[in-house]
Amino acid sequence: MQKKAKKISHDHIGCTCFIIPEKVLKKFSHDKDLSDQERKFFADAAKFESEWRKGRDMRTELALTAQKILPSGLQGLPLLPPTITLFDCQQHNTLPGVAISSPQTSADPTCTRAFNYTTAVANFYQTVFGRHSIDDAGMAMISSIHYSVNYNNAFWNGGQMTYGDGDGNIFIDFTKGNDVIAHELTHGVTQYTLGLNYANESGGLNESISDVFGTMFRQWEANQDFTTADWLIGSDIMGPGATLRGFTCLRDMAAPGAKHCLSPQPNHYSKYKPGMDPHESSGIPNFAFYTAAKTLGGNSWLTAGKIWYQAVAGFGTSPNMTMKQFANRTRSVAKSLFTGQKSVISAIDSAWKSVGL
């Protein structure tokens, strides 16, 4: 008798990889200080997130399956820099949109920003960590701009980036945040490394890894050390309506629960609850990274960043990894990468202990 095929659940595979949490979108969809049209923009964006997630989750599973069972690459051939392509949705919602032939010389600043920042993210991963594009095999980096009308988000859908223009009040053009672009592209890196599920602790780790590498990229581009970096996530996409309400960023890695954060977070594991939105629980490992970088000083990507990257990319998939497991992995990596450097090993250990891990 033929065996019945095992049903695979896609509920939590991959990640709901958008920069603005659904909770924030819903909050503004009920904000009486906004016009009916503005509230509708937020309501529509919130409804859309759960729908495109289904297709993205299947892409993620397919990519991970291919990695496990199919051969890849021709031996001896050098990996070239990834091809970076741009498409213009022209306010429509069909991806990828119309191809842009020379994005680096476009008269559209949204196009040139998306191209230049994507190129810079690829250079960041190559220069600092020796990684060849998102999949470490030279994967083409595809982006679509001007998605839909006044779309209040940016997302990685499992195969490409998509940017909305924002409503112009609460949020502005999402390509203006270089940390936003690096955050979303890092979801792709996590997809091809740890393959973290987007639920519970692994979901929080998923979001945190994107924040960590997003802020590292922002600091790397500006050549900032610990003392000159502001550790804010999404500060460059805050519109005038957000700043009037006292919001200067989406998140603050140095002060996750601060009032100036549009999406505040806990900073200690004792405040974690199962089922918590990954955009919230990510504050716990975020604060651990910030604390480690503060103790180590200098440039965040040189020591703490290399430890985090090795913990992400050096061990294969681990879809249900807990925060404690990730913390212990960084402790182990610190000892192997910085053998005999007690100050580094101690900084990583103390940082995790400071958040209850």
Active site residues: 184, 279
CB-based contact 192:263 (threshold 8 Å): no
Alpha-carbon torsion, ordered 309, 291, 233, 39, to 10 deg: 120
Cα–Cα distance measured from residue 217 to residue 196, given in angstroms and rounded to the nearest whole number: 21
* Nearest alpha-carbon partner for 136 in 314, 332, 326: 314
How many other CB atoms are found less than 10 A from the CB of residue 248? Answer: 17
Q: Are 189 and 314 in contact (CB under 8 A)?
A: no
Task: Give the C-alpha distances (Å, rounded to integers) separating 20 from 25, 49, 155, 171, 319.
Answer: 7, 10, 9, 10, 23
Q: Return the closest-CA partner of residue 53 out of 16, 104, 24, 19.
A: 16
* Tokens read off for 224: 């900032």
Q: How many CB atoms lie within 10 A of CB 160?
A: 18
| Separation CA 305–CA 115 (nearest Å) | 24
- Residue 227 exposed, middle or buried by CB count within 10 Å (0-12, 13-18, 19+): exposed
Query: How far is residue 303's CA from residue 17's CA, in Å, rounded to a whole number?
Result: 27
Identify whether the C-beta of residue 201 lies closer than 8 Å to the C-beta of residue 269. Answer: no
Q: How far is CA 295 from the centre of its chain?
A: 24
Residue that is written with structure tokens 């996750």 in the block? 256
- If we measure between CA atoms, which residue out of 238, 240, 209, 236 comes closest to residue 304? 209
Residue 61 structure tokens: 């599973």
